[in-house]
Structure 1
Amino acid sequence: MTAHRHHGVVVNLLPTVTIPDADVEDALRRAVAIINPLLHVLWETDPLRLKRRIPEDGDDGVLDSMADGFSSILNAADVPGTLAWDRLNTDARIGWWVARVGALNTVAVAFPGVLGALGRRLPIQDLLGFTSQAVVLCAVARELGVTDERDQVRMLAQVLCDRDLTVIDHGDDDDTAPDEIPRTPLGVARALWKLVGLLDAIGDELAKRPHPRAPFRYLSLLPAVGAIAAYLGEYGALSRAAKAGQRWIDQR
């Protein structure tokens, strides 16, 4: 940002620019095209066929016992695609995405809080928070049966950017086929990194996402303990974003 100090007052020399709805939609559309394959990979990946494994009486070997153990762990965690996941209702599945995936992402979002007030001045926090909320919101939409990417983009725009994109007329535009994401840790990491870069393109829109409530924001200014306050605040913001996404879908 270019600024000039005049009589002790900092004056911003740059003009105020509002990002057009079409540009916000384009960035979110590209983001959704990455998020959905990522969610699909998390759901479908099961190279050792452990998710739906059922222990049998003839499984006496060490490898069979290990496989049964890992399968039990996956089912105990209600991982998508497991037999335990099949028994969860919609609310429980949505809660899983918020409590498990969202909570894990929030660790990265809250990390700058270790630096206290200095950390809050880093632009990365809103970017990571926006990305985390976008991933969980798309997962919520899928659990509620909303798989059309254009509807998911409109939901993200309304909940995270306070923008109504339903006014945009697309005519008979064809949706672009999503990229194939390799089912490996490196492939997922690269897709996430690309997603962060795409969302960074919409700049000021990132700051419109649901934020931690005031007490957590103030506590996050403190060094060291700021990370804990930031985590709790960001997790609460993520939960509110997920509920807002559910309301948006219910209203439609």
Structure 2
Amino acid sequence: MSLLTLPTATLDDAEVASALGRSVGLINPILDALAGIDLLGLKKRTHRLGASDDAVDKALDVLAWALNTADVPGTKSWAEMDLDARVDWWVRRVGALDTLLVAFPGVFGVIADRLPIQDLLGFSNQSIVLCAVAREHGMKDRDEQVRLLASVMCDRDLTALKAGAAAGESDESRPRDTTVVGRLWHLVGVARAASDELVKRNRPRAVFRYLGMLPGVGAVADYLGEYGALLRAAKEGQTWITQHTAPATA
């Protein structure tokens, strides 16, 4: 029997929306940078490879060719890709690369499972990919992206929540201990509630979670499990986007 009963708290829809809104506010500038930054004009150069015989230009052409081969946004190859291919790029290239970071704690085996860091990293990775997929589908409105993440990542329907709802609006009316100790105790409860939201995301299959408890090889198992979870999240996200996007009119 536990000697200490930890406090509990419940995050309402407005609080979840506010937290996800702040996340979306950080994610979109990152995606803008990935898609828009063009160091040395290499992306633009992919549209005119071999236009000069100058030695420096040839060297730059090699770098531009590498970006073009990787289908990086802004290159000629990217411009020639259809919607499905662009979505697939974000999921299977950017998402797969980021999953290396998500899986890294698995090196420590069962020790890493004692901390929520992998769920936090996995939640962040899936959120970034889902926002990128939404943008490719033309869904760039912040509130819509928040509703997407809430549905896929937290299993919450925020349709009835007013646009731009801020954390605390529905929370102010709750009775709360105003002492320092009381506030800290409540903060522990909120942290536990936030952790409960993280584990609602698509998670690795049970077999990968068990293998992930093993030191060393746990990182490999975690990678395979997290990548599979990312693919499921992306598929679920595309389904949600399709259902919530008005069909184009002629």
Range into which the TM-score falls when normalised by the shorter chain: 0.7 to 0.9
Quote the sequence identity (%): 56
Structure-2 residue corresponding to 1:116: 109
- 1:27 partnered with 2:41: no
Match of residue 46 from structure 1: 38
Distance across 1 between alignment mates of 2:23 and 2:69: 31
**What is the aligned-residue RMSD (CA, Å)?**
2.0
Matched residue, 2:247: none
Cα pair 1:27 1:202 within 8 Å, conserved = no
Q: Which of 212, 220, 232 is residue 212 of structure 2 equivalent to?
A: 220
Aligned to 1:245: 237
Deviation for aligned residue 1:34 = 1.2
Give the C-alpha shift of residue 51 in structure 1: 0.8
Matched, 1:104 2:97: yes
For residues 175-234 of structure 1, what are the alpha-carbon distances to aligned partners after superposition, in whole Å with 9 as ceiling and x for unaligned? xxxxxxxxxxxxxxxxxxxxxxxx999442111110001111111111111100000100
Check 1:244–1:222 CA distance in 2 against 1; reply closer, same or farther (3 A cut). Answer: same
1:47-88 Cα distance to aligned partner (Å, 9 max, x none): 31111211245x222211111001100000000111100111
Query: 2:9, 2:193 within 8 Å by CA — same for their partners in 1?
Result: no
Q: Is residue 112–residue 119 contact of structure 1 (8 Å, CA) maintained in 2?
A: yes
Q: Which ranges in structure 2 are unaligned for 5 or more consecutive residues?
A: 166-190, 245-250
Aligned mates of 1:201, 1:222 — CA distance in 2: 28
TM-score by length of 1: 0.82
Please give the alpha-carbon distance, in whole angstroms, between the structure 1 residues aligned to 2:159 and 2:71.
35
Q: 1:95 aligns with which of 88, 91, 100?
A: 88
Structure 1 unmatched ranges of 5 or more: 1-8, 174-198
Using the alignment, how far apart are the partners of 2:193 and 2:146 within structure 1?
A: 15
Q: Is the 8 A contact 1:127 1:200 kept in 2?
A: no
**Aligned residue in 1 for 2:198:** 206
The answer for the alignment partner of 2:136 in structure 1 is 143
Aligned to 1:180: none
Output the amino acid matched with 2:36: E
Measured in 2, the distance between the counterparts of 1:78 and 1:229 equals 28
Cα displacement (A) at 1:161 = 0.5
For residues 38 and 201 of structure 1, the distance between their equivalents in structure 2, rounded to whole angstroms, comes to: 27
Residue identity in the other structure for 2:5: L
Q: Are the equivalent residues in 1 in contact too, given 2:116–2:195 (CA < 8 A)?
A: no
What are the within-5 Å matches in structure 2 for residues 128-167 of structure 1? Answer: 128-167=121-160
* TM-score of the superposed pair, with normalisation by structure 2: 0.82
Query: 1:62-120: CA deviations, max 9, x gaps?
Result: 21111100110000000011110011111111111111111111111101111111112
Aligned with residue 61 of structure 1, among 54, 57, 66: 54
Secondary structure at the residue paired with 1:88?
coil
